[in-house]
Chains A and B, each alone.
Chain A
């Protein structure tokens, strides 16, 4: 179990630029979740995948955000035309199809700073 890996750990970008983050889940986990955590707040759900299918998207996920999980393995989260309000920690988690008893693990996150 190598854990959930997120890259990059930190990203500084200029307003208006596009950014992409990657999440590699635990290999036997079929569900993958994205959360966003702003300073002083708890994480907020953005979207999740079961295998390659995106099953739910939060209304927080504006049209500038898109997430993919090709082939049900790693996932990418892209933010187009970044805004200062997008500055946050983006967390990825993966879980086993058996549910919470079998594991639900968070990565260390990608911290995005939009300047």
Chain B
């Protein structure tokens, strides 16, 4: 069975400050890793994903995450946040194959609040 732990339930920061949202996972098999963002009363939007290749992946709006296999982590970072980044962020994993491929296991979420 897989599990995902997001270490911070809420992260308050000031605008233009850096931020890190932490994610650790547990799995007995290889995994793909994802970060999703959710704005109030909306569905989930994919922020970035690690499937293979470079362990550092980036999004179009300045977020990045690094897959660390030895520490089973996939922390999300942004060097300078904006008010518009205020949202809830979810880390998720999926098996890379087999019958459970495509089934996402999510963490409990981290609410990022950016203050002016």
Answer yes or no: do A and B interact.
Answer: yes
Q: Chain A's nearest CB lies how many Å from the CB of B108?
A: 5
Chain A contact residues, CB within 8 Å of chain B: 4, 6, 31, 33, 35, 40-45, 48, 55-56, 91, 93, 95, 99-101, 104, 106-109, 111
A24 to chain B: closest CB distance in Å?
14
- Determine how close the nearest CB of chain B comes to the CB of A95; give it in whole angstroms: 6
A100 x B109 contact (CB < 8 A) = no
Measured in the bound complex, the distance between the Cα atoms of B44 and A8 in whole Å is: 17
- Chain B residues with CB under 8 Å of chain A are 4, 6, 32, 36, 41-46, 49, 51, 90, 92, 94, 99-109
Specify which of B49, B99, B102, B108 is in contact with A33 (CB 8 Å cutoff).
Answer: B102
Q: Please name the 3 residue pairs, one residue from A and one from B, whose CB atoms are nearest each other, closest first.
A: A42-B106, A108-B43, A106-B43
Decide: A42 and B108 in contact? CB cutoff 8 A: yes
Q: Which of A33, A42, A45, A99 contacts B90 (CB 8 A)?
A: A42
A111: chain B residues within 8 A (beta carbon): 41
**With A and B bound together, what is the CA distance between A55 and B100 in angstroms?**
9
Q: Tell me, rounded to whole Å, the shortest Cβ–Cβ distance linking A106 to chain B.
A: 4
Beyond A40-B109, A106-B45, list 4 extra A-B contacts (CB 8 Å). A33-B103, A42-B90, A42-B108, A100-B49
- 10 example contacts (A-B, Cβ-Cβ < 8 A) are as follows A33-B104, A40-B108, A42-B108, A45-B104, A91-B43, A100-B51, A100-B102, A104-B46, A106-B36, A109-B42
Residue pair B94, A44 in contact (C-beta under 8 Å): no
B100 with A56: CB separation less than 8 A: yes
Cβ of B97 to closest chain A Cβ, rounded Å:
9
Give the CA-CA distance A93 to B102 in the complex, in Å: 10
Q: Which residue of A lies closest to B44 (CB)?
A: A106
Query: Please, which residues of chain A bring their CB within 8 A of the CB of B99?
Result: 55-56
Q: Is the CB of A99 within 8 A of B43?
A: no
Are B105 and A101 touching (Cβ within 8 A)? no
Shortest beta-carbon distance from A108 to chain B in Å: 4
